[in-house]
Structure 1
Amino acid sequence: MPGAVPRDAAFFDDLYRTHADPWGYRQAAEQSKYHLTLRAARRWQPRPRRVLDVGCSLGYLTEMLADYAPRVSAFDISPTAIRMTQDRCAARRTSTAFDIQLGDALAPAYPRGHFDVVFAGDVLLGAFDGAERAVRAVRALLPLLSANGVLIATDFMNPTAQQSYVNLVETAGGRIREALYFNDRYWFRLKTALKSRRDSAWGQRLLCSPRVFQFLAHRAARRGPAGSKHFGLVVQPVA
């Protein structure tokens, strides 16, 4: 789990104002996570009408959703992140209608049953300091789902915390339909090993290389659940 940080709107907004890509979203492991997450969404909801990206950050996933749904909503607590997501999506040539606004996962401003898919990437553990607030967020998001809609939640964690993540979602009233493994354990080991070189042009080429990631992901997949540092769940409300 991430270390204890002051995860409030001012913290995140300052981060986005001072760092062009604070989470390394352009890197191969993150891009692969987006594609695998979207692939899972298509399995459960092949033709959604409306989807929601919770905590959209810089809008990388939000933009990709233009190929998936005719109406895409997204929110974040950072005004800077919202502006960057709006600019990214405005530059996309698409007939998809985007609605991108400030918002809070603990009090999302949408009607019940409004979305066929809700994405919560690195939100439950990444944005909140404790399990209690994460449970509140899941309880706030599940009612937004239409009949047969799904919440897809992903977070970065040690593999030993995967069961705790399942327990958290179930405590909040979620029914687990599928577990998602991203096979990125060895890629993150590479990132750690690079240390000071990771921000160099050479380091960035290595970390952004799909070939390097796929090679390491193939090895990590042999570890089963232990091969993933990102873990995800496809969730529906308990009937």
Structure 2
Amino acid sequence: MKKHPHYIPAFHFHWLTRWYDPIMRRLFPESRIKTALIAQARIQPGQDVLDVGCGTGTLTLMIKQIQPDAGVNGLDMDPQILDIARRKAEQTGVTIVLQQGTATCLPYPDESFDHVFASLMLHHLTQQDKQQALREAFRVLKPGGELHIADFGKPQDLAMWLISLVMRWAEEVHDTFWVYCRFL
């Protein structure tokens, strides 16, 4: 397996990237979680939104579809997955701004966004990188802005524990599975 020195592709291998959306739709309640995350944000017309680790753009596009008058940006390190996000945006006729970059060094000025989202992304980062990514998220938030996080929590039963073992391998998950995380 060839890895980019700065990121792990979705599902660990580049050849699996194109299967990310179909697999997630079948195995994970991604749409329900992301809809709840957007609802809690109460995004208003004219607000600026950043989706850090946007992947295939599912959340980024959902935000823009729910609040078409918001400025919506997606950022991800993987150019292949950003190509999928761009195709999805073209197919749906939704205008979003997609950019390649890293959560630990956001390419935006201070106080640029009203909302920053990190959905199913932080588990990819080491503890040190999580801390830096959160510092960066707060740096680019406008005064009074909000950070919205959804990620995996502690497995609650044997089935989820087994799934977490597969995920730890498939996505090179760092310590998030063993720390109980909830929506902020």
TM > 0.5 between the two? yes
Give 1:8 deviation, angstroms.
Answer: 5.2
Give distance in 2, aligned partners of 1:32 and 1:91. 22
Mapping of residues 8-47 of structure 1, within 5 Å: 9=6, 11-12=8-9, 15-22=13-20, 24-27=23-26, 29-42=29-42, 45-47=43-45
Structure 1 gap segments, 5+ residues each: 1-5, 160-184, 193-228, 234-239
Mapping of residues 87-166 of structure 1, within 5 Å: 87-94=87-94, 97-124=95-122, 126-128=123-125, 130-158=126-154
Query: Which amino acid counterpart does residue 11 of structure 1 have in structure 2?
Result: I
Query: Which amino acid counterpart does residue 110 of structure 1 have in structure 2?
Result: Y
Identity %: 23
CA shift in 2, pair 1:63/1:141, >3 Å: same
Q: Which has the larger radius of gyration?
A: 1
Deviations for 1:44-95, whole angstroms, at most 9, x for unmatched residues?
x43452101100111111111112243111111111011111111122234x
Give 1:15 deviation, angstroms.
Answer: 2.7
Q: Is the 8 A contact 2:17 2:80 kept in 1?
A: no
Q: C-alpha root-mean-square deviation of aligned residues, in Å? A: 2.8
Which structure has greater strand proportion? 1
CA shift in 2, pair 1:230/1:31, >3 Å: farther
Query: Which amino acid counterpart does residue 41 of structure 2 have in structure 1?
Result: A
Give 1:123 deviation, angstroms.
Answer: 2.0
Look up the match of 1:205. none
CA shift in 2, pair 1:22/1:8, >3 Å: farther
Query: Which amino acid counterpart does residue 85 of structure 1 have in structure 2?
Result: A
Q: Secondary structure at the match of 1:146?
A: strand
Q: TM-score, normalised by structure 1?
A: 0.58
Query: Which amino acid counterpart does residue 137 of structure 1 have in structure 2?
Result: A
Q: Secondary structure at the match of 2:135?
A: helix
Give distance in 1, aligned partners of 2:79 and 2:147. 24
Structure 2 gap segments, 5+ residues each: 164-179
Q: Is the 8 A contact 1:77 1:103 kept in 2?
A: yes
Look up the match of 1:204. none
2:62 to 61, 64, 67: 64
Q: Is the 8 A contact 1:62 1:89 kept in 2?
A: no
Look up the match of 2:83. 83
